[in-house]
Structure 1
Amino acid sequence: MDGSTLHAVVARTAMALPAVTATQPFGEGADVYKVVDKMFAMTSELRGVAIVNLKCAPPHGAALVRDFAEVTPGWHMNKRHWITLAPGEAIDEQMVEDLVANAWDLVVAGLPRARRPFDPGRGAGPA
């Protein structure tokens, strides 16, 4: 997957999830995706290469870093809880969609129940 496609898949997937907003707190060229004001994904460039930072559970992130050259510990983020995706042949649309949804799920799970967005299609929401 090339860099522009990587960014496009992240944007499309993130914005389709409930209660997501896109902001540019770091200026143009860095899109931050938040759910209920908590960041779960960011698209930007590093030395001219498109990258994506995603929230990720530590064991899952460690396995991805081990198994994919395109996945590294989160750039400018907590290296244990964030990963960075770069363009490459091993990165496909389904993988990116799954990782974005997983990042959203992790952030929502950490929200107080009263603040969790409701989505009948996923069965998520306040109990």
Structure 2
Amino acid sequence: MDGQKLQKIAGDCAVELPGADLEHHPDWERYKVRGKVFMLMTDMPGRPVVILKADPDNAAALREQHADITPGYHMNKKHWITAEGGGTLDAKLVKELVIDSYRLVVGGLPQSQQPVDPRTYGRHA
């Protein structure tokens, strides 16, 4: 999938999440839940990318398994990943990464502000 399709899939998924807000900035799109960023989209020179929060252990495994996943661009390299278009990502994985990022951020919110239960939201039996 190309980078623009990657961003479209990720953006469409993100705006459907409970409590998610989108902020447009000149070079960035920021997706937040209760004021906390869970996804960023921008264009690195000629390459549309999606930047997502990830569990550190999961992030390391994802980077090993997928050439199109690298450490978070302009973010903490341990807790964030950058996904770009290429041959190793499919729509299902992109949506899972967006929901995982959202769930991690929601899990860091006070329970009274959580729009969903981060332990169960988006998990399929």
Correspondence 1:66 to 2:27: no
Structure 1, unpaired ranges of 5+: none
1:61-105 CA distance string (max 9 Å, x none): 000111111000001000000000010011110000000000000
Q: What is the letter of the counterpart of residue 13 of structure 1? A: C
Equivalent residue for 1:4? 4
Structure 2, unpaired ranges of 5+: none
Identical-residue share of aligned pairs (%): 38
Q: CA deviation at 1:48?
A: 1.2
Correspondence 1:76 to 2:36: no
4+ residue runs over 6 A deviation: none
Do the aligned partners of residues 123 and 47 (structure 1) sit closer, same or farther apart at CA in structure 2, a change above 3 Å counting? closer
Do the aligned partners of residues 116 and 4 (structure 1) sit closer, same or farther apart at CA in structure 2, a change above 3 Å counting? same
Do the aligned partners of residues 19 and 70 (structure 1) sit closer, same or farther apart at CA in structure 2, a change above 3 Å counting? same
- For the aligned residues, what is the CA RMSD? 1.5
1:18-75 CA distance string (max 9 Å, x none): 0000002xx3241110011100001111011001100000000000111111000001
Matches of 2:67 and 2:87, distance apart in 1 = 10
Q: What is the letter of the counterpart of residue 21 of structure 2? A: T
